[in-house]
């Protein structure tokens, strides 16, 4: 998916230990973030920041819960800027996380719908109303807690976990909701709930030394990849030799 591309521009730079060999990935990420900033708006009266959806040349005042990975990505990348820009990016990450948390808090079940619309004079309204146990919001809360030390993000994560426990837990596991307004269940547990959602919640309440950001970077599916030591990263960013699928030989 397109969102993973932007995430990986940043994370390749981090995994490569932020050296000159991978600097161009950071530069590409910063360029793409200028585009993201141009898509950011805020609501009245509550000043919720959100990322518009762009369709061709037009903007739609709609944001998917899937886009709630962005606060964590922005927070992770903020420190690579100078002081003023770093503060701007981190503040945007915090504001977007607040919006994503309120995707959950504004429904009767306290679980987020799949997407939200922002109409003039209104803060937010659920569009597609199912919840399939997605990880993006708790992922961002984990990043923000680790990078700021603000326990508010743990409190928000606990609220979301309790909502899963109340509405989604059944005897054999967890299920999504067909409608976050009524609480009707869908009888399906997505694999990413175990692989990502619960993993990020676990890390949100674990010491920062558990899979430390000093040694590891997560890919988009929450698998930790070790950061390449400076002494070993001379090959990072060099051309990759192509191999034939059958012969296993260079083409």
**Binding site: residue ranges?**
220
**Is 114 known to be catalytic?**
yes
Q: Which of 7, 34, 84, 114 is flagged as catalytic?
A: 114
CB burial class (10 A; 0-12, 13-18, 19+) of residue 237? middle
Cβ-contact 198, 190 below 8 angstroms: no
Is the preceding omega at residue 223 within 30 degrees of 0, hence cis?
Answer: no
**Binding-site annotation, residues for Ca(2+):** 220
Q: Which residues are catalytic?
A: 114
């Amino acid at each position: 998916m397109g969102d993973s591309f932007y995430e990986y521009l940043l994370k390749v730079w981090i995994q490569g230990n932020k050296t000159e060999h991978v600097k161009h990935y950071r530069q590409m990420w910063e360029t793409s973030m200028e585009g993201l900033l141009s898509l950011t708006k805020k609501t009245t009266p509550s000043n919720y920041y959100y990322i518009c959806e762009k369709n061709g040349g037009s903007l739609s005042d709609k944001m998917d819960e899937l886009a709630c990975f962005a606060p964590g990505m922005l927070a992770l990348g903020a420190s690579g800027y100078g002081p003023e820009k770093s503060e701007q990016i981190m503040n945007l990450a915090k504001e977007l996380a607040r919006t994503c948390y309120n995707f959950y808090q504004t429904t009767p079940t306290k679980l987020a719908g799949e997407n939200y619309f922002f109409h003039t004079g209104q803060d937010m309204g659920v569009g597609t109303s199912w919840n399939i146990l997605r990880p993006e919001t708790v992922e961002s809360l984990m990043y923000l807690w680790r990078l700021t030390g603000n326990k508010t993000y743990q409190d928000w994560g606990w609220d979301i976990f309790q909502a899963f426990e109340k509405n989604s837990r059944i005897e054999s596991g967890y299920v999504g909701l067909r409608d976050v307004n009524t609480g009707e269940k869908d009888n399906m547990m997505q694999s990413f709930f175990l692989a990502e959602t619960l993993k990020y919640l676990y890390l949100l309440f674990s010491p920062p030394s558990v899979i430390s950001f000093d040694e590891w970077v997560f890919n988009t599916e929450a698998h930790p990849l070790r950061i390449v030591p400076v002494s070993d990263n001379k090959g990072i960013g060099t051309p990759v030799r192509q191999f034939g699928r059958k012969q296993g030989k260079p083409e």
